[in-house]
Amino acid sequence: MTFVDASVLEDGTLVRSDICVVGAGAAGITLALALGGAGRDVALLESGGLEREPETEKLQEARNLDPRYPLARSRLRYLGGATNHWGGLCRQLDPDDFVAHSWMEASGWPLGRQDLEPYYEKARPILDLPRARPPSDLEGEASTYPPLLGLRNAAFTPFLWLKSQPTRIGIKYRDELAQHARVRCLLHATAVELVANREATLVTGIEARTLAGRRLRFTARHYVLAAGGIENARLLLLSDSVVPAGLGNRYGLVGRYFMDHLNQVVGTMAVMSPPPAAAFREEQLARRQVPGVLPGLIAFTTTPRLRAEHRLFACALNATRDLRQAPEAAAVEELLADPMGTTPPETRPAVRRYWLTATAEQSPNAASRVFLSDERDALGSRKLTVDLRLTEDDVRSVRETLRLFGLDLARAGHGRVQTREVGEAGWYMLGGHHMGTTRMADDPRRGVTDRDGTVHGVANLHVAGSSLFPTSGFANPTLTIIALALRQADRLKVASEPRGGR
């Protein structure tokens, strides 16, 4: 098989397969290749082409109710999806990210970290990450390189960010998709509606269109939406021929709980080296050239104990060296180097400055959502309105995390934190990670899909990607997206097995 440009197919073409996957990004390509490798015939629909095209990109235009949210620049519609411009940072969700917390409404996954553990391992080589895990600290070197926050700190945990090349999924797997005997990738084929039976318990087909005016029909035994955190919800809402509110939307949850990651420079950190050591343990570890690890970045995250005590959401504080003069850090540097104002400049200890960036979780909020507008795109489909809402608690959590980190650093006697006043608009410099709009839950009144990503009440309709996330943690979602897709592939292999086997 090879890539097929749907724009040149005859109008009314019918494409049959075992499984039809909508969207050729990280989740869709992972699923298609895993299922094709298991002997299933897969039709993989991609709205765009092999490269970015302005007319196709216009199909994802949406009305953005808060112009501070940089929505447009975070979306891409061609083979590989958002992996065509991601930065490559990777991290697994922490075990605590899956747990329901009393201080976070609608939190808790129907899965645990242990359910994804084997799939995280399988996902690593897909993103060109080494299978071996990097060291978490410098064993036996605490006396030479003391921890920055002290030996007995129970509030913050240092960690290393993993770093993909970054892997461009569409480029990496383009040849494999083109040559695969079981996978047909149809370009410029935009799904516009899921057609269901009268009871809305099964999907019987997908209607797709092209900008060239062709209408196509796809039929399969199972269907998977892997079109991204926003478009997955849009397609369910557009599928309203049988259910006026859209498929999977019995309880009005499709499109709700829309989340992103807060990502903002929140201050500077000045660190004084302890004599005679040249650095702290975390700095030494960050300097090591470990394959698959982002060098030069010192990162800290809050512990479950601290989050419970102060009702905090997940947050990482990332410290990067700033080689420029930072006026807001100058006073802190002077204080550390000469606390009494009497030390000659030539004998003052070395002080290093770092920018502190917070990468933080946005709490799930039913009022933060995407929904259909009355405006239509070039294919006649209703566009979306995006209403992302940060809460006061989202911002409070980041500020409190930074305050507690600064206190611990000062108590350890190793440095100071100078906070930056970030205005309201500043918190909208977000990660471009669209999550939560088809959240999973065991109870259909709390989620759109079950723990396997199957839409409640629609047995052969499944969702893949970060729209499944009930909560987000602070980690970039790509590694978890692929791990979930591999887990779903294992379940779909069984569900799509013909009666009597092959």
Q: Is the predicted pLDDT of residue 135 greater than 80, yes or no?
A: no
pLDDT attached to residue 484? 98
For 429-469, what is each residue's pLDDT tens digit?
678 999 999 999 999 999 999 999 999 999 999 999 999 99
Looking at residues 107-128, what average pLDDT do you find?
97
Domain edges within the chain:
3-495
Backbone dihedral region of 167: left (phi > 0), alpha (psi from -120 to 50 degrees) or beta? beta
Helix/strand/coil for 487: helix
Q: What residues contact 460, with CB distance under 8 A and at least 6 apart?
A: 202, 203, 221, 222, 223, 495
Helix/strand/coil for 163: strand
pLDDT attached to residue 85? 93
Sheet holding 203-209, edge to edge: 14-16, 215-219, 203-209, 190-196
Q: Is the predicted pLDDT of residue 341 greater than 50, yes or no?
A: no
Q: What residues contact 413, with CB distance under 8 A and at least 6 apart?
A: none
Both tokens assigned to 49: 């082409």
Task: Report d(CA 171, CA 52) in Å as an integer.
Answer: 13
Query: Can you point out the beta strands (E) in 273-409?
Result: 297-302, 315-321, 351-361, 369-376, 382-387
Q: Report residue 321's pLDDT band, with 50, 70 and 90 as the boundaries.
A: confident
Q: Is the predicted pLDDT of residue 332 greater than 70, yes or no?
A: no
Both tokens assigned to 327: 């006026």
Can you state the angle between helices 478-495 and 26-37, rounded to 10 degrees? 30
Q: Which of 49-63, 70-84, 262-276, 481-495 has the lowest mean pLDDT?
A: 262-276
CA distances from 463 to 436, 446, 459, 484, 489 (A): 12, 16, 12, 10, 11
Looking at residues 174-186, what average pLDDT do you find?
97
DSSP letter at 134 equals: P
Cβ(84)–Cβ(78) under 8 Å?
Answer: yes
Task: Report d(CA 448, CA 437) in Å as an integer.
Answer: 8
pLDDT attached to residue 327? 43
Q: Is the predicted pLDDT of residue 74 greater than 80, yes or no?
A: yes
Domain 3-495 in CATH: superfamily?
Answer: FAD/NAD(P)-binding domain (3.50.50.60)
